[in-house]
Every structure is written in structure tokens, then in C-alpha cells.
């Protein structure tokens, strides 16, 4: 049975842990506000690009551009997998890693390659022996130039036939309590449901529709990749804030239980000492 000194040490230890988790929650809340603003501010731009591409695709032959041409083969898939660089955020990273493992096991591809953004993605892909490249710094600083370089490589491998599908795998930020693992196809380009049915009338293309489509498709890949990183960053801080809030509550509950245990043990010790004193007095 634990002594009074052992219980006091444990109470002190849990209190210190509670202070750490409370501080981490406050830091995560501040970071989440900034990340959420960046994510939600960028969404209208990304959605506008989707509508623009959908309208262009409705006016141009789908075989007119190599990024639009679908392929029957399902030999090689490349996944841009986005996670966090740090842990202590509940099941945030685990859900994405599970989706990657499902893709490896169930989707019928002969080979799956992973470009990892985030150390957790890098570790999981390296363990599965499917890692192609790690760009862990992009999760904290999604620079357009570096994302363009990444997309250029994805596009080159797809156009050369080295890969048949390219996907984005990330957590879509829904709310503070909800981040949804999302597998989104990048290549070949598919029109979104929101934009496919819209008609904005006749268009006059300058330069040619093919040149315009080539530029717009390339930029759309950059915008989609950057938006996925922003969504993941916002979701990471929200998940960490929620996890640290839960940890702080658990620490407080544990302190209450340990305090009760300490008081009972202390009372039992006092009672035992009184019994011994009374027994000694009666013996005299």
C-alpha cells in the first residue's frame, strides 16, 4: 500500500503535469486562431479555382490535355500525405496513417509511393517502405515556390506515365472538434460537383483555350496542395487544444482522487495511533 509520502509526491507530479497541459492548451488555442483564419481565408480562392477549371473543362475536349486524360490502369499511385510535425494531438495523425495503410492494402495498386509533409507522415511511410520524399518544413511554412516545385515533380511523373494516379491525403478542418481524413484525387484532374453544373455563358479565350487550361490546371494543383496544408495545420492545432483540454481535466480528476486517498490514509494513520495510545494507557 502506498505511504502518505508516496501519495503526496504523486499529487505534486500530477499538478505539474496539469500545469504543462494547460499551458499547451493555451498555446494551441492561440496558434489555432491564426491557422484557422489562414485556412478559411484561402478557401474561397481554392473554390473559385475549382469552378474555373470545371467551366473550362466543359468547353474543351477532355483529351486535349494530358492532365485530364483518365487511365484504365491502376498500377502506380503517388500520395502527398500531410500530417503534423509534432504529436500530443489525439488521433489526428493516426487517422491519416490508417487511411494510407488502407490504400496500400485494399485499393488494388501494384505500387504506392508517398511524398510526406510532416514528420509523422515521413515516419509512417518510411516504416511501410513507400517514402519517396520528405518535405516536413512545409507544414509550418507552406511557401508557394516550394509547393510549385513539388507539383512540378508530381506532374512530370504523371505525364511520363511513371504514375497513374496522384492523391492528396490530409485532415480537412471542419470545426474545433472535427477533422475529417480526406483522400482527394489530384491527377488526373476531375471537375468538382459544385462547379460542373454551372454555366457562365460564352467565353472568348486569349490566349488559346489549351494554353489557358495548361496554366490554370498547373496553378490549381498548387492551390489544392497549399489548401490541404493549411487545412491540416488548422486541424492539428484544434486537435491538440482539445487533447490538452481533456488531459488537463483528467489531471484535475486524478488530483481529486489522490487527495481523497491521501486524506483517508492520513485519517487511518491517526486512528491507528490513537488506538495504540489508548491501548497503552489501559495496559498501565
- The set of catalytic residues is 89
* Measured distance CA(82)–CA(144) in Å, rounded: 16
- Residues 111/145, Cβ–Cβ less than 8 Å: no
Secondary structure letter of residue 195 according to DSSP: H
Query: What would you report as the CA-atom Rg of the chain, rounded to the nearest whole angstrom?
Result: 28
* Measured distance CA(46)–CA(76) in Å, rounded: 27
* Measured distance CA(107)–CA(112) in Å, rounded: 10
- Residues 253/165, Cβ–Cβ less than 8 Å: no
Secondary structure letter of residue 197 according to DSSP: T
- Residues 135/149, Cβ–Cβ less than 8 Å: no
Position of cell 511523373? 157
- Residues 214/65, Cβ–Cβ less than 8 Å: yes
Secondary structure letter of residue 191 according to DSSP: -
Position of cell 487517422? 95
Q: How far is CA 206 from CA 45, 149, 186, 203, 233, in A?
A: 22, 26, 26, 10, 37
Angle between helices 209-283 and 92-106 (to 10 degrees): 120
Amino acid at each position: 500500500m502506498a505511504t502518505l509520502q508516496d501519495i503526496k509526491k504523486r499529487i505534486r507530479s500530477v499538478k505539474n503535469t496539469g500545469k504543462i497541459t494547460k499551458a499547451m492548451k493555451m498555446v494551441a488555442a492561440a496558434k489555432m486562431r491564426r491557422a484557422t483564419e489562414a485556412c478559411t481565408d484561402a478557401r474561397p480562392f481554392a473554390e473559385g479555382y475549382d469552378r474555373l477549371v470545371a467551366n473550362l473543362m466543359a468547353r474543351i475536349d477532355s483529351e486535349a490535355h494530358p492532365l485530364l486524360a483518365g487511365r484504365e490502369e491502376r498500377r502506380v499511385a503517388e500520395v502527398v500525405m500531410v500530417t503534423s510535425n509534432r504529436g500530443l494531438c489525439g488521433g489526428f495523425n493516426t487517422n491519416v496513417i490508417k487511411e494510407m495503410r488502407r490504400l496500400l492494402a485494399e485499393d488494388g495498386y501494384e505500387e504506392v509511393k508517398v511524398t510526406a509533409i510532416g514528420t509523422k507522415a515521413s515516419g509512417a511511410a518510411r516504416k511501410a517502405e513507400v517514402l519517396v520524399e520528405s518535405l516536413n518544413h512545409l507544414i509550418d511554412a507552406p511557401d508557394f515556390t516550394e509547393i510549385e516545385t513539388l507539383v512540378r515533380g508530381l506532374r512530370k511523373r504523371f505525364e511520363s506515365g511513371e504514375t497513374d494516379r496522384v492523391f492528396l491525403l490530409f485532415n480537412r478542418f471542419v470545426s474545433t472538434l472535427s477533422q475529417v481524413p480526406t483522400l482527394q484525387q489530384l491527377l488526373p484532374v476531375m471537375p468538382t460537383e459544385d462547379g460542373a453544373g454551372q454555366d457562365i455563358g460564352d467565353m472568348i479565350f486569349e490566349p488559346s483555350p489549351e494554353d489557358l487550361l495548361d496554366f490554370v490546371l498547373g496553378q490549381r494543383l498548387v492551390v489544392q496542395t497549399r489548401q490541404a496544408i493549411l487545412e491540416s495545420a488548422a486541424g492539428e492545432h484544434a486537435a491538440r487544444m482539445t487533447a490538452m483540454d481533456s488531459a488537463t481535466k483528467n489531471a484535475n480528476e486524478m488530483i481529486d482522487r489522490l487527495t481523497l486517498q491521501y486524506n483517508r490514509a492520513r485519517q487511518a494513520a491517526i486512528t491507528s495511533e490513537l488506538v495504540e495510545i489508548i491501548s497503552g494507557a489501559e495496559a498501565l
